[in-house]
Structure formats: structure tokens, C-alpha cells
Structure 1
Amino acid sequence: MALSITKTHGSQNDILVIDGAPTDHFAQPDIARAVGLMCDRRRGFGSDGVYFVADHGDGTAQAWFYNPDGSAALLCGNGMRGAGRLLLDRHQAESVVLHTGPYAFTVRAADTTSHGVRQVAVDLPAVDFTPAEPIVAQAEGSFVDQLLPAFHPSRRVTALAVPNSHLVSVVDTYDEADLVATGTRVATTPDVFPIGANVSFVLPLAPAEVFIRTFERGAGLTLSCGSGVAASRAVLSRLGQVAPEQPVVIRNPGGIARSWLQPEGDVWRPVLEGNATKVYSAQVDPQVLLGDGPVEYVGEAYLDEVNAFAALNSENRKVLQEAGISLTDV
């Protein structure tokens, strides 16, 4: 059975969405190899990860996410935008629910921008500042706004789960080389960070407007990280910099989004709103993905959607340039 693949992106965090469960197409031991080739930007399709989505046919689905190195992850917030948008279109619905692990994610249709960019809003699971599996070894209770030399010699950091693990620093200047070095330290210091973590630097630009960039576990520096946005948004409120319900404009190198928190009892549930753009769709024989590539395919490109987003993001990039933020595209 051919693999039906749609390349999507949320803030240029490009994710391949595949119909069906991973084991519908590959034996369990082969999944990581196939994902690695699909994500390879020279030999495969090129992406920041893969979502497999088994549609239940009733507006709900089961989803599995894999990083480019083939490792499984509980969540890719930007990828959830693309996967959810495809289900919204298929069922002509205003909202759908995707299940992954023990979590359920509601994806709702949001306003289309003046540029013609389709947007969705994703209701994410509650953030957890005291996760059962510690992000920082031997940390007792929450780890909020603390110095930790193994992380960085001078930047304070907050640890939280969204539900995947994150380390967030609010900074007064942005240094990309410093972010890469910090993310690399976290990835290579398992005695301090036993489960690894995504690392985000957050630079306030104006009231209720910030720049965020994330060094992702298993992927490295990316143009945007949806769960990194949600984690960073929660940290801003935990540090008292903005009220939970206040929508905050989020600028990434890959695009612009908004995020806010929904208080429910003593927890916060983040909402991530932004583009969910289709790039192209294609079909490929699964056996091809167990070879060495390059992968050859014929597909349909969605140029109107690609061009509409390009116009929107050119405005975002201009704002970042005027703010003096120096970036390396990936």
C-alpha cells in the first residue's frame, strides 16, 4: 500500500503528515530508518519530523510523532497544526481531536489572514512545572528561574514539561551561537539532564510580543518549535511578566503566531494559534524508504498557500531585522 504524504508547515517547522499508523506501513524495527530517510534534506523529502495519523472517521484520530533522528516524541505543536488542519479539511469541521499517548489535542479552525494564510488554534495539554520525570537531575519540586552551570554560566533557566521536556531562558540579548552551545551541552550532559530537553531563548520585543528560538532535542536549531512556544509562553506568566490569559505575539525565524494560557483550576493549558500551510502532497512505495535514497516522487504543489505565507513572513522577518536579531536559517 502506497504511503500518502502531505508536507505541511507551521511557522516553517516543516512536518510530513502520513495517513495511517506507523506499523500500517513499516515493521517496528524499520520505522526509525524510514523516518530518517524521509526527513533527510538531500536524499528524502526533507522535514523536521513525521506525524503518522490514523483517522477514526469521526473527527478524531490517533497520532504518532517522530523526530528526524527516528526517535519518538509525545508532541510537535507546529506539526499538530498541520495534521489537524488536514483533518479539519477532510471532515469539513470546525474542530477535531487528535490523541497521542495519554493526551488529547483539540485543533480548531481560526481566522485566515489578510494574505490568505490558513490558521488553526491548538489546545495543548497543561504545562507541568513539577513533572514526575525530572528534567534536571535531583531537582526537588519546581526548577524556576535558577542558575545552573551545567546549563549556562550566567543565564537563568526554568524547566517544565508540555508534555515533552523544555528548558527556557528569558534573555535581554539574543546570541544564536550561545543558544546552539547551550542546547548541545544539554544534549551531551545526561547526568544533569537525564531525559534531554528542548532549549529556548526568549527575547521580549514589546509588551505582549516576544522573539523565541529553540534548539530542539533530536533536531537541533529549527525555524520554529510549537511546544517551545507553549513552554516559553508559560514561563513568561510564571515569572510574572504577562497575565496568563493575555495573547502574546510570538515571532520565530519561521513565522508569526500567538499563544495564551487557559487557567483550569491550578493548571495552565496553552493555546497555540498560527498558520497551517500545505506545501505539497505525494505518494511513495514504503519499501523505497528502507533503501539509501534518493527518494523520487511525483506530487501536487500548493503554490498559492506557499506564496501567501511567504508574503506574511516577509513582514515578520523585517520586524526581526529592525530589532537587530541576527539569524541563521536552517
Structure 2
Amino acid sequence: MSVLVTGGAGYIGSHMVLALVEAGESVVVVDNLSTGFSTSLPDGVPLFIGDAGDENLVEGVIAAQDVKSIIHFAGSVVVPDSIRDPLAYYRNNTMTTRSLLKAAVKSGVNQFIFSSTAAVYGNPDKVPVPEEAPTRPLSPYGSSKLMAEIMLHDVAAAHGMKYVVLRYFNVAGADPQARIGLATVGATHLLKIAVEAAVGPRAKVDVFGTDYPTPDGSCIRDFIHVSDLAQAHRAALAYLRGGGASVTLNCGYGRGYSVLETIEAVRRISGRNFAVQHGPRRPGDIMAMIADTSRLRTALDWTPQYQELETIVAHALAWEQKLVRERQSELQHATSA
């Protein structure tokens, strides 16, 4: 009996795979490696290189690996990119999920965990944001994820599937032992950009908008450590296995930090005073997004371990420093060769 993790070689997916393996689960991964890395996977985890929307591939993997549950991470996540190329997001996020669900139904898989986003809410009427808040996405990214949620709801009702939708707020940090982390070149996550600026690969941090009606004028975000998020998925899997009803849950800590606060935390912990450039607001950005986590904490057996911003920053810095050392070593090796 195995768990299929789509996008399992990516940033969040690889932390999920590691958490499952450490818990003694049998795991199999489908990933096209467009943004993921096979080296992020633990030894012995089967990797099928291909698209999560390839129904023949997925059906074959389910049958060969005795898959009973699917955790679906595969997709595109950059808000500005989705505004520039919306059709790519409707293909990668919505159509891929549709094909994956079809393969799951055909193969008799009835436990499904979906990686969604707080972007489905748009600019919320109040914060913290409860799950029943109106969904008014400001970007094709948010819309593509909301469409996938709607499909999952309808498929579950028609075919007896049970699901957990996890709406992520801002995922950050890295494995506490620095075994894996966010390695994608050109990543757009705020904390990733800031630690790159602190360690060296990036010249500066751009802040988009300092005139919002917030305490310091910058956007406010609820960061969640990627390892805590992986454990939330493990708890969601246990919930479904225990007969839990389908549910949608916010994944955050219920506390917000502004963009400028986050940058200052990176400066303080790294001891580096890197450049910060202020610019105009960016289309699709949400002013303030903080999770109401009461339903999450009630429904799942989940206790976060790394919820302090300083801890998230320290783990992200340690991972970035490891990447820099590895790149320097590779460069020295190439030069000497």
C-alpha cells in the first residue's frame, strides 16, 4: 500500500516525501522535474518522470505500486507569471488536476489531498481569514487552484472519494537538518530572495508596494515552515484513513509579518545589510493574508514545531549557505579540471 506524491521532487513535495519515509510509509513519486530535483528524494523512493496529468502513466503507477492515497503538489505557483500566461496555469493546475482525478477514479483511489492556496480568497474582507470567506481570486494562479478545488468537490460527491484541501498561506524555510530546501533558480518566494541577498547570489531585494494601509506600508503574510506543512499533510492522511469527512483547511500559523519585517529578520539573523529597493505595487498581490487556523487545529492531530519567524529564517539561511558552498565546490572542481 503506497502513497503517490505528485510533484514530489519539488520544494514542498520533497519535504512531504521525506516526512512520509521517516514515518515508515511506502511512497512513490511522479514528477516531470520542470522545477524539481531527483536528488531531493530519499534513496529508494521510486521516481516516475512524467506529467501528473498523463492518465496512462498515473494509472500504471497506481496499479504497479498499489497506491491507495494521492497527495497532489504538481503545478505552477508564481502569481505574476500566471497574469502574463494564464493559459499555462489553467493547463498545469486545472487540466492536470482534472486528468489526475480521472485516473484516480478509474483506479479506485478514494483518498486525495490537494495542495491549494490562500490566493483563492483574493483580498479578504477580514483577517484572520476563515475557510468560509468568499473566494475572489486576483490572479489566474488563484483561479486555477479554485477551479481544481471545485472539481475535486464534485468528483468526490459523484464517486465516493474523500479529500482534504489544504490552502497554504506563505510556505518558507527548509529542512531543519538542511538536507533539502528550495533550490529552484529564480525562485520568487520573499524569504528565499532575502536569504539569497544575504548570502550572495542575489544583489538586492525588491519590495513591491510600500503604500498599503498596513503598519509599515508593505504587504502582510502568514508564513508557515515547510516541514510543519509536511506534517500537516501527514495528519490529513491519518484523518482520511480514520474515516474523516472531506474538508478544506487553512494552513498557516495565524500570525502575520510584513514584507519589511521579514527582510529585517533576515538582516538581523544573517548579520548582512543587503540592498532593498522599493517599487510600485504588483498586479495580483494581496495586501494582507493571515490564516484563521482554528479548523485546522481542531480537525487534525497537528502541532507546529517551527512557528517562530526567526527559526524559519535560520533554517532558510542554513540551506542557502549549503547551496553556496556546493556551487563554490563545483566551480573549484571545474576550474581544476
TM-score by length of 2: 0.23
The structure with more strand, counted as a fraction of residues:
1
The structure with more helix, counted as a fraction of residues:
2
TM-score by length of 1: 0.23
